[in-house]
Amino acid sequence: MIPTSARGRYLLQQGSIHLALTIGAVFMLLPFWLMLRTSFTPPDDIFRGNLLALPAFTLENYVRVFEDVPILRYYLNGIVVVVAIFVGQVAVCVPAAYALSRLRFAGQALSLWLVLAAMMVPYQVTAIPVYVLLSQLGLVNSYGALILPFLSSAFSVFLLRQFFLSIPQSVFESARLDGASPFRILWYIVFPMARPAITTFGIFSFVSHWNDYFWPSFVLRNDTAATVPFGIVRFLDQELGSEYGPQMAAATLTVLPLLVGFLLAQRQFIAGMSMTSGQVD
């Protein structure tokens, strides 16, 4: 019998929504469960039994990864790259977003349109000319090749601009009345208030560049500056071959920092997303 009261219809609607979300979550989490399960399963038991059941526990696959793959060096390289990119993006994108949202200057509208246009162009489109420039500068196969092309982000500028539009104009006017210069306002007011938005684009930046395989494979020729995805792929065929257990262990080690980082910063991330949505001029 279908409920006819308002409360019954509401409960049915909410129940249907939660059921659909639960089913979607299960399908999204299933690949991660299979990856995690395989990484802890003895090689001879990977394709035996029910793939959804708990396996016989072993750390053999992780031991193989640490023995055969210089995973710690890849981790260090990845941390250096993503932290350097994030610091550079904060230094470049926060002032740019503040200028586009709260300052008035000639060409402001054109600058905003250029930012929006840049967001629509995948960086793969400009990969070849950027590579040629890096080659002429002698930066190929170095940290510089992984970091310099990403020190500015159109998406980060736009995200921060939307956040600054949510801050009442009276905050900036009060600071100007107190004699604060634009740089003082930027340092003492904008940066502290922008922490949720900075965390939000920091998570996007971290995930994007930690997972990036295309660009490192484009500019690196050896393992000196290899990041985790690039380094692991290089070793899959050379050392691990078709052994699925070590492969899934390596994949788990790649995903683990992303999961931990998001769990630690999820409140700031949600706050930043909520404050940057729906803002218009």
Q: Residues 205, 37, 232, CA angle at the centre, nearest 5°?
A: 45
Q: Supply the pLDDT for residue 273.
A: 64
pLDDT, one tens digit per residue, over 207-238 is 899 999 999 998 998 888 889 888 888 777 66
Average pLDDT over residues 246-267: 83
**DSSP readout, 247-271?**
HHHHHHHHHHHHHHHHHHHHHHHHH
Judge contact between 249 and 43, C-beta under 8 A: no
220 three-class SS: coil
Distance CA 164, CA 172 (A): 11
Confidence bin at 194 (pLDDT 50/70/90): confident
Q: Supply the pLDDT for residue 258.
A: 84
The answer, yes or no, to whether residue 100 has pLDDT greater than 50, is yes
Q: Supply the pLDDT for residue 215.
A: 93
DSSP state of 148: G
The answer, yes or no, to whether residue 53 has pLDDT greater than 80, is no
Q: Supply the pLDDT for residue 239.
A: 59
Which pair of tokens denotes residue 1?
């019998």
Whether this prediction's pTM lies above 0.85 is answered by: no
Range with lowest mean pLDDT among 45-49, 55-59, 102-106 = 45-49
Distance CA 55, CA 273 (A): 39
Q: Supply the pLDDT for residue 56.
A: 76
Using CA atoms of 154, 220, 244, 33 in order, give the dihedral in degrees to the nearest 10: -20
Q: Supply the pLDDT for residue 198.
A: 87
Distance CA 93, CA 210 (A): 20
